[in-house]
Amino acid sequence: MEDIHSELCLRIDEENVNRDESEKLKYVSQSKVRRRFMELVDIYKVDLPKKGTVLAKLKRDGVKEEVIATRPLQRVEIDWTPVDLMLIDPSDLKAKRPNLIYAVDKCTGMPMGFFVTFKPVDSMALKQCLIHLIMPKTYLKVLYPLVENEWVAHGIPHTIVVDNASVNDSYEFEEACLQLGVKEVQFCKIDAGHQKGTIERAFRRLNTMFIHNQKGTTFSNFIEKGRYDSQKNACITIQGFIYMAHLGMVDIVANTFDKRRGNSPHHLWVQGIEDNKRLMLQIPRSIESLKIILMGGSKLRTIQQQGVVIQNEYYYSQELMELKNLLEKFKRVDEEVRVRFDLSDMRKVFVYDPINNRYITAEFTGLKRKKVNLELPVPLMALELDSKKRTETKKTFSPSDRAKAKRKMELIREQDEKQIKKWKRNKDKIASDYQNSDFITDTVLKPVQVETKSNAIITTETKIDVPSINDEIRIIDEEPVVKQKGEKKSESQNDKNENWYIEYEDTDIEDLPSWDVNMKKDKKELA
């Protein structure tokens, strides 16, 4: 505003340069400039680039109407935020701020469930909170005996409201809600915290009622925190905070008078359930279905003849094929179905049946081929390593080899095409002597000569590798000697010439064994 007032004064000075002393303009006070500015400026246009469309409209128009819920479980709001408290992480003994996922019933203000984690909030953490709010809190007296009251809130909500964060706006969370029986999942607009004001006020009540009173608190802002050292004063573990959260939600929040509603959330819940007794029956059908929903592995797959494939491994069952045929019947052949699996055991997967709203079990088909010990759980990492190994092996093969072979085939085709044209022009000549592929076997069975280190010649009937311990075998590519007519006289002479490389050793007759054999005497010796 001071800049606007200064600019106005400068323009007045520029205007007074050409005016007489009696006609000069006077300065305007800064307060008057402010009043005129507020009359002329459009606050909505000023707030729009700074706060966004939703907050700018909210500031201009205000909250037009309140969302009304008339019974328990009609509308449950879920949100998450870092806790205003430093806790000791047992993994490294460092002080950290955990994330709290909190669910509150809109009608009664009753805490429905929560989940605390040091890790970033993901769909898995949201599903843990979802299970906690749905299931009965039968563990309360066993695990947390200091809690005096009962936590009676449980059941499947009709509508769940979350903000538009990327964690919430995920298929995993929405699918889990629908499979558990939640009719609708609503996502608030960006910067529209007023659309889920119940959960925002619930976080504020938790902070003011017991969190900001604990050692290690970070308070709501740096002004309240001042010079307080939250990390140095942190002395509560996450287990201790979870115990405190049960005490705070059950004994404090649920059993404290709410002036907006005219009673405590606990009494409003009990009265609402008595008026709508059918709500007591809204719990999941089996624990097995909850375990499947909480599984960390999830993929979308199309059902094939071999089943569904995860990391190059097919999973099959007869029920899965029946689902495939049913999808084909309703002309949904290419529809992808949700496949859930345990990351620590891939021996079976669970395929969601969208028609009957249930999960189908599919067993492995090829893990034995991969030489995997099926008596122990097979982690997903083992399948990933096998798939990566196959991918690396595939990369060693050149993708151009096929094209090279195709080019050679095309060259042979072109040559044969030219040859056939020549044969057709010369019809009186025989086109070819080959009528089948027996010439290949004739070539294979053609006798060849093999030479060893000891200069011995071995004649083989087929071109095979002859194993030898001490001798190297070498294939002689020379053609066998063909005898021509007129060479009979010199046959013996040629044999001698050809066998000159054979080594002979002189053996004395005396060295030969005697087996009563009479040696034939020479006629000259007998004479």
Amino acid at 285: R
Closest by Cα among 97, 96, 114 to 105: 114
Name the nearest CA neighbour of 115 among 134, 98, 103, 101: 101
Residues 6+ apart with CB under 8 A from 170: 123
Q: Which fold has domain 76-281?
A: Nucleotidyltransferase; domain 5 (3.30.420)
Residue scoring higher pLDDT (283 or 9): 9
Across the range 112-129, mean pLDDT stands at 88
Band the pLDDT of 502: cuts 50, 70, 90.
Answer: very low
The confidence score (pLDDT) of residue 92 equals: 81
| Mean pLDDT, rounded, for 228-244 | 89
> Is the per-residue pLDDT at 16 higher than 90?
no
Please check the confidence at residue 444 and state whether its pLDDT lies above 60.
yes
pLDDT of 221 over the 80 cut: no
The identity of residue 230, as a single letter, is: S
Instruction: Tell me the pLDDT tens digit for each residue of 282-322.
Output: 676 677 777 787 787 888 999 999 999 998 899 999 999 99
Helix axes 2-16, 30-40, angle to 10 degrees: 110
Has residue 481 got a pLDDT over 60? Answer: no
Check residues 414 and 515 and name the one with the higher pLDDT: 414
> Rounded CA gap, 188 and 172, in Å?
18
Q: How many other CB atoms are found less than 10 A from the CB of residue 310?
A: 20
**Mean pLDDT computed over every residue of the chain:** 79
Spacing of C-alpha 118 from chain mean position: 22
pLDDT score for 459: 56
For residue 356, is pLDDT > 50? yes
**To which residue do tokens 């004063």 refer?**
233
pLDDT band at 25 (very low <50, low <70, confident <90, very high): confident
Is 149 a residue whose pLDDT tops 90? yes
Confirm if 163 and 188 have CB atoms less than 8 A apart. Answer: yes
Domain boundaries along the sequence of the chain: 2-61, 76-281, 295-395
Nearest Cα neighbor of 44 from 32, 31, 62 is 62
Q: Is the pLDDT of residue 250 over 90?
A: yes
In this prediction, residue 500 carries a pLDDT of 46
Please write the tens of the pLDDT for every residue from 373-420: 788 788 888 888 888 888 889 889 988 989 999 999 999 999 999 888
Residue 54 pLDDT level (bands cut at 50, 70, 90): low
Measure the CA–CA gap between 351 and 347, rounded to whole angstroms: 14
Confidence of residue 191 (pLDDT cuts 50, 70, 90): low
More confident residue, 467 or 208: 208
What is the residue type of 75? R
Are the beta carbons of 303 and 320 closer than 8 angstroms? yes
pLDDT confidence of residue 520: 54
Determine what percent of the chain is predicted with pLDDT higher than 90. Answer: 24
Q: Which residues, 6 or more positions from 158, have their beta carbon under 8 angstroms from its beta carbon? A: 73, 74, 75, 182, 183, 184
% helix, strand, coil for the chain, step of 5 = 40, 15, 45
